[in-house]
Structure 1
Amino acid sequence: MAQTALPTPEIRAELAARVDSITARAPATHPGEIALELETIRRIAHQNGIRPAVTVIHALDSALARGECGALVQGWLAILRDAVDCDFAEASADTLFAAACSVRLNG
């Protein structure tokens, strides 16, 4: 498998802006709409090798499917924002964010 180049600052900025936009509108947005927007972020993150963001989006999708909303979704979006900004390309960053998601899921 070919190694993905590190994401450009512009890609990270675009993803951060998308997350910030969802965060600002989340309280008044239907979970299905949030999920659609997250899919776009997931696709871009996947294409650019930002695996921590992909990991968090999978967990956030599960949270939305369970009916989480409001402050709970805001917390998930904060973790996603951190994952988008993460400079680590190694698998260890993905593992760290997966662990953070697990803690959040399981309390």
Structure 2
Amino acid sequence: MGQVAERVAEFQDLALVKAELAARIAAIDVRAPYTRATDLAPDIDAIRLIAHRNGMNPAVTVTHFIDSALSRGEHGALVHGWLMTLSDAIYSERQDVQACHVFAAACSVRLAG
């Protein structure tokens, strides 16, 4: 019974982390139309750190691409699309290397577009 309780606790902790990240993404999304791209970067870095600590590998991958997009000066509605991709990565059921490749491919298409 101890292992079951541990798994439930892990699931609940991860659900809380996902909720926190979703709230952070929503806050960035609200600010994005009125904020310079460079001013959003620290918030994306914070999401990357939290995702990395919690083994949310596709989200880490997407944050790297968002950094590249922000460095290119993307802002406003373009950032909204990136944040939706990040949200999808956070709620992805898969956290393996293949999932990272799938999200990286989607981000590459968006970045090249």
The answer to whether the superposition gives a TM-score over 0.5 is yes
Q: Partner amino acid for 1:18?
A: R
CA contact (8 A) 2:36 2:75 kept: no
1:94 alignment partner in structure 2: 100
- Percent of residue pairs identical: 51
Tell me the number of residue pairs that the alignment of Structure 1 and Structure 2 aligns: 103
In the alignment, which of 4, 15, 22 is matched to residue 28 of structure 2?
22
Could you list the structure 1 runs, at least 4 aligned residues long, displaced by more than 3 angstroms after superposition. Answer: none
Q: Which amino acid aligns with 2:34?
A: A
Matched, 1:34 2:36: no
Structure 2 unmatched ranges of 5 or more: 1-9
Q: Which residue of 2 aligns with 1:53?
A: 59
How far the C-alpha of 1:73 sits from its partner, in A, is 1.1
State the secondary structure of the residue aligned to 2:66: helix
Give the drift of 1:97. 0.3
Deviation of residue 92 (structure 1)?
Answer: 1.3
Rg larger for:
2
* Structure 1 unmatched ranges of 5 or more: none
| CA RMSD, 1 decimal | 1.5
Kindly indicate whether the alpha-carbon contact (under 8 Å) linking 1:16 and 1:85 is maintained by their aligned counterparts in 2: no
Structure with greater helix percent: 2
Please give the TM-score of this superposition, normalised by the length of structure 1. Answer: 0.89
